[in-house]
Structure 1
Amino acid sequence: MAAALNACRVATCLALALLAGCMPAAPVRIGLLADFSGRNARFNVDGRNGALLAAERLNAGGGIGGRPVELLVRDSGATPATEAAAVRALRDAGVALVIGPFSSPVAARMLPLFDAAGVLLLCPTSTDAALRERDDQLLLLNRSTRASASDYAGMLHARGHRRLALATDMRNASNNGGWRDAFVQAFTALGGHIVADTEFGVAADPTAYAAVRTLLAAGPDGLVFVANGVDAARLAQQAAKLHAKLPMVAPDWAEDRSLLEAGGSAVEGLVLASAARLDDEGAAYRGFHQAYVARFGTEPNYRSIAAYDAMTVVARALAQARPGESARNAVLRQGPYQGLQQSIAFDRFGDAARQAYFRVVQGGRFEPLP
């Protein structure tokens, strides 16, 4: 009788083992959070596409540690209420971490929610210096506004500019205003002068036309539009209407198809920096570019590349995480990580620094600045 029972137990254990071996491995759930319904929806779609392509390629190669990647994409909406609901939905889904958002103001609003939930937030494109050097659940892949502004000041001074006029969109006061302040400090330290400094974008501020008139009245030798692609294009159009023939620049985050589409010929010659080299002939980038165009029917941009790199960081960190190790500690313990075009190294706060390359709009395209 005992022998029969033992035989039964052995058979049962073998059956369960075989069943477990046939069952698919539980997926690694990674969240992606972005605003697909606000004024920056199009920018976020580019980022989503980069992350989605990375997830698909990871799965084609066996996933992460043999487990398939499940990318849970959630629309954060354009209000604090919808943002909070999206965070709760991802937390309740048991995600390992979240990639996004692609906007510094949204990241600042969401961060307390992620800190409270203990869920890591990996932001591919944020540059706001106010979010850096903090022990929290936010990791930043992009360079800071300070680093960006300093690069611009050096470039413009080296190209002979001494009298610049600035127009700053204050709807994103922390990021744009922070960049403006850092730029003014760096440019004046080099001996340059800011001859006009105006703000727009909120109810009491001047229109784009009035702002550009103020800039031109000061007699600058260059115009700096501290705004995203659409608003930089609006300012460039007003400058064209006023027959201004001055060099123009806009910060990193203005690099987008919307700048070209909304600005047309008015943005020809405008200079900006990009954390991506879209003319890169390296094998890694060319393979990504080919796959991206085939998958989405459009060209990638720096948001697409940054989100793809974020997934690269995630895949390596989670695959080599120690038992019981938090996602944040796993990411920071390892590295540097090799992205599509450059290495990604985090400091102890989880802040990375990416090299940027200056580009100029020529013939309706972003070309390397000579």
Structure 2
Amino acid sequence: MSTPSPSPSSSPSSQPQPQPQSSSQSPSPIRVGALAPLSRPGWTEAGRHLLAGLELAVQETNAAGGIAGRPLELLVRDTAADPRRAEEAVDELDRLGAVALVGEYHSVAARAAAVRADARGLPFLCSSAVLDALTEEPTDRVARLAPPQSHGWRVYADFLLAGGHTRVAVATEPSVYWAAGTRILRDHLTPRGATVTELDARALSPGEIRDALAAGGATALLLLTGFPDPAVPIVAAVRRDPRLAGLLVGAPAGQPEFAEWAELLGEDGAAVPFLRYLPERPGPRAVRVGEELRVRLGAEPSFVAFEGHDTITVLAAALRAHGPDRPAVAASWPRTAVEGTRGEIRFDRPPGASFWQWTRPPVQITDRDPAAPARFRTLHTA
């Protein structure tokens, strides 16, 4: 079950509220807080997919008897990609007695939520945000399913080098996430003889970016910008200029994964490589879950939907093994081994990491097939 999101509360309490038994003596639900970007300026399609995966896994858990007979109840809160709203949501979910926190797609909101959840003693299993520095201080309460940005984006940089792209331009906007991505690319590409040129997508119009690319001789343009604006107008401007016919347009953050990309750009949105966190060949579990998600979404499920489903699968296993107690859930991360839709999930602390991380999530580079933009092609796996 899930509970709609009211306006976030600004009067938090660190003590969970006990959940009374109903008059029929039905078992009280185990409350789980869920964060997702469900309104603008958040990437709402990503939020919808994330929520679909979370809700499907909750439904399956409850159909299988819940946690020792108690159902999971998902308390959904919209972050709109806003760090302050994420913090307020964590405060409210803490006050409502959530045993753990899950979700979030945007790194800036996830980082704010992780720091606040840790301060509240609330375990947080982050589904989809990739920013390396998800927490400011070492903590045992936070774990993450998505791969670190530094790993995925280095894979992407190697893909560019393998394709002969040593003159790379990035159209970027001010953001901790985009700045980290630019730094990862530059640090990986520059020692290997490549150059990375930044184009400010806030200061330059799509036409000015197009002209700068034509004059500068870049062979690849990476979109490190918001979606749909300014990413869509930039792609349209570049694709329709014959001077840039050989330019590779890439989107490491995954914008082309979602149906809205294809709807807005059509053929112009094909052949834009992006990072996708799915195995090359899905197993039976992933096929079954994918079919259920397809019905629920009315569209092809993205990797974000599978991340959402895996999140609840992991949390439910932790709750069954260790009980619905916050300290027990937090202590369970290094002892958890669960088969998800994308492989076996285990958590470790890589060198330098301040939280628990799934160390082997699948990483692939994919694009939309120019011959059939609704179809995806796997270009590279890592």
TM-score bracket, normalised by the shorter chain, equals: 0.7 to 0.9
**Are residue 166 (structure 1) and residue 200 (structure 2) matched?**
no
Which sections of structure 1, spanning at least 5 residues, go unmatched?
A: 1-18
CA contact (8 A) 2:38 2:48 kept: yes
Task: Quote how far apart the aligned CAs of 1:227 are.
Answer: 3.0
Q: Which among 354, 364, 367 is matched to residue 373 of structure 2?
A: 364
CA contact (8 A) 1:280 1:286 kept: no
- Give 3-state SS (helix, strand or coil) of 1:32's partner: strand
CA contact (8 A) 1:198 1:215 kept: no
CA contact (8 A) 1:166 1:215 kept: no
- Other-structure match for 1:271: 273
TM-score (ref. length: structure 1): 0.85
For residues 220 and 281 of structure 2, the distance between their equivalents in structure 1, rounded to whole angstroms, comes to: 29
- Other-structure match for 2:157: 153
CA contact (8 A) 1:337 1:344 kept: yes
**Residues 333 and 78 of structure 1: CA distance in aligned 2, closer, same or farther (over 3 Å):** closer
Between Structure 1 and Structure 2, the one with more helix by share is 1
For residues 27 and 179 of structure 2, the distance between their equivalents in structure 1, rounded to whole angstroms, comes to: 48
Q: Identity across aligned pairs (percent)?
A: 25
CA contact (8 A) 2:49 2:304 kept: yes
| One-letter identity of the residue aligned with 1:145 | Q
For residues 134 and 116 of structure 1, the distance between their equivalents in structure 2, rounded to whole angstroms, comes to: 10
Larger Rg: 1
For residues 56 and 317 of structure 2, the distance between their equivalents in structure 1, rounded to whole angstroms, comes to: 16
For residues 84 and 135 of structure 2, the distance between their equivalents in structure 1, rounded to whole angstroms, comes to: 25
| Aligned residues: CA RMSD | 2.5
Task: Quote how far apart the aligned CAs of 1:268 are.
Answer: 1.7
- Other-structure match for 2:357: 351
| One-letter identity of the residue aligned with 1:112 | V
For residues 325 and 95 of structure 1, the distance between their equivalents in structure 2, rounded to whole angstroms, comes to: 9
For residues 81 and 146 of structure 2, the distance between their equivalents in structure 1, rounded to whole angstroms, comes to: 23
Task: Quote how far apart the aligned CAs of 1:142 are.
Answer: 0.8
Task: Quote how far apart the aligned CAs of 1:63 are.
Answer: 1.1
CA contact (8 A) 2:27 2:69 kept: yes
CA contact (8 A) 1:140 1:350 kept: yes
CA contact (8 A) 1:197 1:215 kept: no
Q: Which among 241, 259, 262 is matched to residue 261 of structure 2?
A: 259
Task: Quote how far apart the aligned CAs of 1:345 are.
Answer: 2.4
- Other-structure match for 2:12: none
Moved more, 214-223 or 330-339: 330-339
For residues 97 and 183 of structure 1, the distance between their equivalents in structure 2, rounded to whole angstroms, comes to: 34
Moved more, 25-34 or 106-115: 106-115
- Give 3-state SS (helix, strand or coil) of 1:220's partner: coil
- Other-structure match for 2:217: 219
Task: Quote how far apart the aligned CAs of 1:340 are.
Answer: 0.1
For residues 193 and 86 of structure 2, the distance between their equivalents in structure 1, rounded to whole angstroms, comes to: 44
| One-letter identity of the residue aligned with 1:299 | E
- Other-structure match for 2:130: 127
- Other-structure match for 2:62: 59
Aligned 1:1-370 pairs, distance under 5 A? 23-39=25-41, 40-77=43-80, 82-131=85-134, 134-136=137-139, 137-170=141-174, 173-194=175-196, 196-201=197-202, 205-230=203-228, 231-243=230-242, 244-245=244-245, 246-254=247-255, 255-277=257-279, 280-321=281-322, 326-348=327-349, 349-353=355-359, 354-362=361-369, 363-365=372-374, 366-369=376-379
Task: Quote how far apart the aligned CAs of 1:94 are.
Answer: 0.7
TM-score (ref. length: structure 2): 0.82
| One-letter identity of the residue aligned with 1:226 | L
For residues 25 and 248 of structure 1, the distance between their equivalents in structure 2, rounded to whole angstroms, comes to: 53
